[in-house]
Structures are given as C-alpha cells and as structure tokens.
Amino acid sequence: MWFLSKKGASGFSANSTAEEVTQGIDGSALTAIVTGASSGIGAETARVLALRGVHVIMGVRNISAGKQVKEAIIRDVPQAKIDAMELDLSSLASVRNFASTYNSFGLPLNLLINNAGIMATPFTLSKDKIELQFSTNHVGHFLLTNLLLETMKRTASHSRKEGRIVNVSSRRHKFSYHEGIRFDKINDQLGYNGLSAYGQSKLANVLHASELARRLKEGGVEITANSLHPGAIATDLFRQHSMISGIVNILGKHVMKNVQQGAATTCYVALHPDVKGVSGKYYSDCNIAETSPQAKDTELAKKLWDFTMSLVD
C-alpha cells in the first residue's frame, strides 16, 4: 500500500505529491501538451505544470469539461498559461486535426504527456474499426506523437532544451494476454477480456516509449521518451465496473493514491532535472522500476511499431 512505501533513490515515494516532486522547478520556458486533462491525474498534471510556469495545452475529448478545468486552474493559479483544445484519441481524424491545428499555431513543444486513457470497457470498435482500448490508449497517442515530433525536434534544436515524451502506462501492462500483443486478434470479440485488453494497451504504451527512445537516440535527437505507472488511484477509470467503482468509492481514500499523489510520477518524469538524459525507462513512484519481460522485448517493440504504422497509414 502507498502509505507503507519508503523513499527510493530519487528521494520520493508513493506518498509524494506532484507539487512536492516539482518544488523549486522553473518551467516558464516550456510548453506542454497533456492529453486527457479534463479530469483525474491529467487535470492535476496540467495544474501543477501550470503552477511551475509551463504553458499547458490540454487535449480534451469534452471541450466543455476542459474549459471548466481550465477556469478552475486559473482560479487556483492566476498566472497560469493554459489552453484547451478538442482531442478524441479514439478517432484518428480527431488526432490529425488536433496535430494539424497545433502545428499551424507555430508554438514550440517541449513536453508531450500521453495521459488519456480508458479502462476495461466492454468490447467495442472505434470509429476507425480498432478495438477501443487499443485505439484510445495506444494507437491515438502513437499517431499524435508522430505528428508532433517534428515540432518537438525543432523546439529542442532552437531552445537547446531537452524535449520529453511521457507515456502514462500502468502496472497492468504485466497482465496483458499471454502473447502480449494479439496482432492477429486485435479486433476479435471472441476471447476478449476487458482487463486483459487494458493490459495489452498499457504494454503497448511501454513498448512504444522504448522503441521511440531507441529511434530518437539513434537519430541523435535531444528528446527522451519514458513510460510510467502512476499508481492505483481512485479516479473515474473504474466507471465501467459498478461493483469495483463502489468499492473504490468506499475504500479508495484509505488504500489508493489521491490524484495529487497519482500525478506525481508524471510531473517528476516531465520536469525533474534528475531525469535529464534518461530515456527508454519505466518509472513508478518517481523511481525507475521493473517492467514485465514482454515489455523488455525489443523485437516485440519493433513489431508493434510497424503494426501500428500500418493502422494509421
């Protein structure tokens, strides 16, 4: 349980908050995109980055909810530089529109935080006929990252500041289907399991960050890519399961992280100077952590990259 954890090598632990792990950091020269920023740890990530001076663009599916969060952040942080743009990660057209619009603004981009996600949904296909969790949690973020990468490269080169890409994964990446990624059965309803499919999408997040880190390093690009487990958090990710949601509502505050703690690892990996130059790693509780054997499989990561490219082409 988080309250029994000890501080790791970073000096932080599971009960550290996002404000604590970014204390004293000046992000006023940085611009960040945070997906899924209209609720939960995404909203807290956006708030804390704004608190540290970062210009934050919230990528949100529900623009009305996003504007409400934006207004709440400005009330809390009057000097906040924050904007909201519509982004539905389950729609490739929406992802392309978001990226095209953002790139047309001529804004820099130092930080890309791929946070949005859904969990354990009933079997559903996205608008692009891809299983919904895989589409939203992985494919949409993969395409978004690719479409914004040139902007990030230019920003890193012109500003001489390291760019950082952060994939919010989960410990559930260790509990995917036995084959890891079901390349030939992504859209098969037969054998579909909501939690295993969630684990598959979270495994894809880790593999994506690892392969991206390899490619960026190979290209000599000053951009890092890492993934992380935010911890077990009482958020609306459990909304698809009424029984689990009920238990979370009753016991969550006692055995799970709150959103301030849940956003800590994301904010740490995005902003902390100790993470400078670190790439292709997986973090938990603001410290480098172990992944599953499948997440370390470089050939699986390359295969997933090629497979995802075929889905977004």
Strands (E), 155-256: 163-168, 223-229
Three-state DSSP state, 208: helix
What's the token pair of residue 101? 């619009």
Tally the C-alpha atoms within 13 A of residue 29's C-alpha that lie toward its C-beta: 10
Identified catalytic residue from 177, 192, 268, 283: 192
How far is Cα 142 from Cα 284, in angstroms, rounded to an integer? 22
State how far the Cα of 29 lies from the Cα of 105, in Å rounded to an integer: 17
192 included as an active-site residue: yes
Which of these, 22, 52, 54, 58, lies nearest to 39 by C-alpha position? Answer: 58
CB 230 within 8 A of CB 172: no
Residue where the block lists tokens 């296909």: 125
Mind telling me the catalytic residues? Answer: 192
